[in-house]
Structures are given as structure tokens and as C-alpha cells.
Amino acid sequence: MQRPGMISIWFFIGALLLAYGVLICGAGIVEAISPSAAAAARAEANLHWDGVDNLHVAIWWGGLLIILGAIYTIKFAPGKGK
Amino acid sequence: MQPFTAPFAFLQAGTRLLSLSSVDLAIIVLYFIAVLGIGFYLKRYTKTGEDFFLAGREMTAWVAGLSFLAANLGSLELMGWAGAAYQYGILAAHWYWIGAIPAMLFLAIVMIPFYYISKTHSVPGYLKLRFGEPARAFSAISFGFMTVLMSGINMYAMALVLKVVLGWDISVSIWVSSITVALYVGLGGLLSAIFNEVLQFVLIWLGALLVSIIGLVEAGGWNGMVARIHANYPGQDYTHMWRTLGSFTANPMGIHWVGIVFGLGAVISMGYWTTDFLVVQRVISAKDLRSAKLAPIIGAAFKMCVPFIVILPGLLGLAVLPKGWLVGENAVNALHPHSYNEVLPIMLARYCGPGLLGLGITALIAGFMSGMAGNVSAFATVWTYDIYRAMFRKNASDAHYVSVGRWCTILGVLVSIGTAYLVMSFKSIMDYVQALFSFFIAPLFSTVLLGMLWKRTTPAGGFWGLFAGTVSSIGMWAWVKLDPSAIRYIALSPSAKDMAENMFRALWSGIICAVVTVVVSLVTKPKTDQELVGLVYGCTEIPSEGHLKLHQRPIFWAGVVAGVFVILQIIFW
């Protein structure tokens, strides 16, 4: 749906994913440099799988969100039609 | 990063699995800002009743299709079915495949033309056109009742997750999320609900998908996961969908293939996906008939993939969590503090660190809010058009009905909050919902289907069939509650369990509804063909799609989805 002047829902989604990607990727980099209290808390809660620490999931998942978010934000930016 | 607690200390009321970091909280806060911002932004585009209740009937196939599916991705999908997968194994995937795909394709190809051409604003509205006021009133009131109950269940489930994972107070969670939903749906109506559902759909996938990916890495792929489950639970089959359904006692669900195929596939799922206004409302908001037909097909394609983020985490829980760590709701105690229903957030906590945990929790909240918003927006439409306008004030201005719709949104949320507190006393969320479906949805499908496909069906037949089906379903449920041994008559076996009883009760109530409808119709006066134009097969001219290329036709894509569905059954047989 696109009424005249209405911002596309895909732009909102892109902008949010972009912001999330930056936050998550940043958190992943910080976590990789100096593991936080969160890892200790997970281990304490008997939930932790040690192997996940070596995967650096937050960095590549955050990177994926940045790419997706940037594509949608640019493609559906206000004033670019659909 | 240090846990961020100061301004949110009031939320950390009880014991919890995890603390959120400042990044996690920022992600959750951003989500709330986004959904509220969309609601405020869209208010300017929501002026007429058509805008507020049907999003202007301008949705593209993709937006309608994704919101059609997202409205169903509530707490029960994300948390309940992950828990069911931990409890029953891959059998839970039947609710996503045979329990959804055939019905969604049937809706697209057979039923949508009548909903769309009749220009009805709701399913009870179709019943009014086809069968008259009594059938509409009965359907609208039962739908309103079921909708607020469902909404309450959504709220309770969400609050429970937040309490278990984060230690947040249940009441605070319920009120904060409810007010948010009330605001954005009240401001922008269905338009806002649909836009937010698309956003929530994306977040649900991006937040929940990681659990499955990392879980498979830990378990050593699909084969490694199956081997671990067999090692943990020798002699039990949790990983095959059909081969254990020949006997009630051969599978953990205690169900027979007849109940799955006919009770779930032919009655409950057909009833839910083709007549529950919560989902149908999204489809009839499409901009044209082709988009309306494509929307459920797009929804079906994505629905087939949902087990990857819902069922698979439950199976992974069976594989990687200590045996017996999760127990039934009734068995929760100090030694076993966590139930099956908590498996998804527990798996999330197992794999996700700062940032990703916030995204995962946001996915859960998004799922809960999309389900809640779906219920509330559908409730506001049915209440305003099919109860308030039909029974109390027939000729008010369009602006008046929009205003009533906004107030109904607030009212629906408040009643749902009351329901959420009521639901806390029920032991099993899933069984409760299945019972509700079989009360109202199963008979409704028989009524609508006969109304659409058999022009001899009369108004009296439609009403009394619907009434008899609903009352008989409630009667069967009460019978088994009072005398548990009666399950041998309802589900055809003393070995049947709750889930099987629900399936068979739905089957019987659907059959009773159909038989009563046919019998009463045969002895009462039918409508003329002229009165049935646009409502019934044989009296309605369906627009031809002959001018479209093959890949542009809905029937082609329905065939593709049906083919993939069959292949999946064979792979996981």
C-alpha cells in the first residue's frame, strides 16, 4: 500500500534493522575484546554452551542486520517512490 | 557491559534466568518507540471507517500475506508450540503443515472470491448477507468472546516469559504491552496493526532464527540432533511425523492419524484459517481480488518455514538440555523450576549474549504484540459493525463508527487484561486454546462452507447448524471434564490424550453442524438465486484470470506451495 506522501513500511523496517545491527555488532565487538558479566551470568545459570563464545555470533549477525537495514533504508527512503 | 538496572529496577521483581545489558534494553526500548511511532504516524491516514477497520482495502499481496501470518504468530506459536515440540516431538509440526497449508490454499482459491466480491467487512458480516441477522449475532458474540480470551492468553504468555527470563513483574509486563497495543491500534486502526505486524514478522524471524542455527551447530546438524534425542530418550520416537500415528499408544501425543487428518486438517485448521476473522480481516484488506488470493498463498509459503524457528528449538531442547530438566506445568517445583512452555526462552538464553538476547526478547514481545493487536483490531471491527451498529445504532455517521472503533480497541484491551489474570489459574495454555477453537471455529467452518458452496442452504439451516455445532462441542468438553472416561467415546479410544480429544471433538462438532444445517435446510425455504449473487458458488461470476501469464496466477503458486508441502511430509514421514 502506498498513498501519496506515505512512508513505506519497508523504510521503517530498514531503519530499525540498521540501528539494531549497529548496536548488536558493537556489542559483539566489545564482548570479543573483553567478555562481560553476561557470560558469567549465563554460566552461573547453568544455561551456557561454551562453544557459542567462539562463534562471535553477535558480530556476523549484527553485520547481516546492518546490510539488510541499509539496503531497505536506501531503497525505500522517503521521496524515492516505492 | 554491566547490567542496566537502575531505572528499571521495579521490573526485576523475582528470580530470573538472566539480566539484560544496556544494549538489550536499548533494543527493546527502540522497538516500543518504533511501533508507537508508526501508530502516531499512521493516524493521519486513518479517517474513514474503511481506513480504520479495513486499512482502506489497499494492501499489496505481500503486506496482506505477511500480516495474515504475523497476526497468527502470537505467544502460542512462539512459546506454546516450542514447548509442545519439547513435549511431543516433531508431531507438533502437524499444526504448521497439514494443520495450516491445505486450509490456507483452500481459503485463497475457493473462499476468498466470495469474501472479496461480497464486499463484506467481516466474517459475521458475510453470515448476515448469506443467512440473516440471527447467524450474524451468534457468530459475532461468540467471536468477540473468543477473541478477548485469546488476547488474554497472549498477554499472560508474554508476561510469563518476561517473568521467567528476566524476572519482570507479570502485572507490569501485561499493562505496559497492553497500553502500547491499545495506543497504536487505537490510533491507526487496522492500517497500523498491519504495518506493525509486518515489522514484527521480520523481527520475529531475525530474533528467533539464531536459536535454530546455533542449536544445530551445537547438536552436530540434523542427524546429530536426532542421535542425541534417541540417546536421551531411548525407545521413544520424537522425530517422525506420520509413522507413529497408526496407534494412540505409539506416539507421545497419544493421537491417531484420523484425528490429525480429519480433526486437525479438515475441521480445525479449515475453520481457523478460513473463517477466523482475525486472519481473514488481513486478506480482505487487499487492494484487489488477485492480491487477496495471493496473500494467503504467500502466508502459506512462510508458514511452512515457521517450524524452523518454533518446532526446531523444542527438538534441540530435547537433544542438548539435560534429560528431564523441563517438566509439565503441574510438575514444576523447587527441583524442576522450569516447564516445557519455557523451552524457547531457555534456548535463547543458552545461546545469546548481549545485544542478541535483546533481539530475541524483542522477537518474543513482537510475537505477543502482533497476536494481541490482531485480536484487538478484529474485536473492534466485529463489535462496531456486527454488534453495535446491527443492534444498537444502525444509522450513525461514519465518523461515529470510527470513534466507537477506537473506544472498542481500548475496551477490548481492558477486557483482555482481565482475561489474562483469569488465565493464570489454567494449568495448560495450549489445551485451553484448542478447546476454544473446537467450541466456535469448527462449526463455523461447516456453516460458511455450506453457505458458499450449496445454494440450497437456508438461513434457518445456517443458524441452527451453527448453534447445534457450538453447543454440542461445549457439551462434549463438559462431558469429558465431568467424566474423564468418556474420552473413549469422543476420541474413539481410552488411550487418547487431551490433544486427541480436542481434534475429535472438533470433528464431531463440525459433522453435527453440517448434518443439522443440511436437514434444517431441506425442510425450510431457500433464498432465491437473485438474493445469492456474490455470495454463493453457482450464483456468482468469478472474474477470469485468463489474461494473466502462468507465473502471475494465484493457482500456479498455490500448486507450488502444495508440492513443497507434500515433499516435506515425505522427508519427515
Taking the C-alpha atoms of residue A12 and residue A17, their distance in angstroms, rounded to an integer, is: 9
Q: How far apart are CA A53 and CA A51, in angstroms?
A: 5
pLDDT at B3: 30
pLDDT tens digits for range B336-394: 777 787 888 888 888 888 888 888 888 888 888 888 888 888 888 889 988 898 888 88
The answer to whether the Cβ–Cβ distance between B17 and A65 falls below 8 Å is no
For residue A72, the surrounding DSSP H or E stretch is helix A57-75
pTM of the model: 0.85
Cross-strand bridge partners of residue B21 = B3
- Largest Cα span, chain A: 54
In-domain check, residue B564: yes
β-strand partners of B55: none
Q: Is residue B123 part of a domain?
A: yes
As a whole number of angstroms, the distance between CA B92 and CA B81 comes to: 7
* Interchain CB contact of B383 with A (< 8 Å): no
Count of helix runs (H) and strand runs (E) in chain A: 3, 0
Checking if the pLDDT of B18 tops 80, the result is no
Give bridge partners of residue B59 from the DSSP assignment. Answer: B286
What type of residue sits at position B135? A
Torsion of CA A62, A63, A68, A73, to 10 degrees: 90
Please tell me the predicted confidence (pLDDT) of residue B432.
63
Q: What is the mean pLDDT of residues B234-238?
A: 82
Cα B100 from Cα B117, distance rounded (Å)? 24
Chain B residue numbers with beta carbons less than 8 Å from the beta carbon of A65 are 206
Residue B161 has pLDDT above 80, yes or no: no
pLDDT over 60 at A82, yes or no: no
pLDDT value at B512 more than 90: yes
Instruction: Give the total residue count for chain B.
Output: 573
Domain coordinates of chain A in residue numbers? 15-75
Q: Find out whether B26 and B359 touch, Cβ atoms under 8 Å.
A: no
Print the domain residue range for B211: 6-427+544-571
User: Residue B267 corresponds to which amino acid?
Assistant: V
Q: Kindly report, residue by residue over B406-415, the tens digit of the pLDDT.
A: 999 898 889 8
Task: Please give the pLDDT value at position B6.
Answer: 34
CA angle B189/B301/B84 to nearest 5° reads 85
Determine the distance in angstroms separating the CA of A81 from the nearest CA of chain B, rounded to an integer: 15
The verdict on residue B35 lying in a domain is yes
Query: Residue B154 pLDDT more than 90?
Result: no
Among B39-43, B149-153, B394-398, B566-570, which stretch is predicted with the lowest mean pLDDT? Answer: B149-153
pLDDT at B431 over 60: no
DSSP B107: I
Q: What is the DSSP string of B1-35?
A: --B--GGGGGG--S--S---BHHHHHHHHHHHHHH
Task: Choose among B21, B34, B358: nearest Cβ to A16.
Answer: B34
CATH number of the domain to which B56 belongs: 1.20.1730.10
Distance of CA B135 to the CA centre of its chain: 23
Q: What are phi and psi of B536, to 5 degrees?
A: -135, 145
Tell me whether residue B513 is in a domain. no
Q: Which residues of B touch A23 (CB under 8 A)?
A: 23, 26-27, 355, 358
* B5 vs A9 pLDDT, higher one: A9
Q: Report phi then psi at B549, rounded to 5.
A: -70, 160
Inter-residue contact B134 to B463 (CB < 8 Å): yes
- d(CA B200, CA B35) in angstroms, rounded, equals 9
Query: What's the number of domains chain B is made of?
Result: 1
- Rounded to whole angstroms, the Cα distance separating B363 from B357 reads 10
Q: How far is residue B202's CA from residue B205's CA, in Å, rounded to a whole number?
A: 5
Exposed, middle or buried: residue B22 (CB in 10 Å: 0-12, 13-18, 19+)?
Answer: middle
Structural domain includes residue B175 = yes
Cell of B506: 472438533
CB B45 to CB A6 under 8 A?
Answer: yes
ipTM of the complex: 0.90
Q: Is A28 on the interface with B (CB under 8 A)?
A: yes
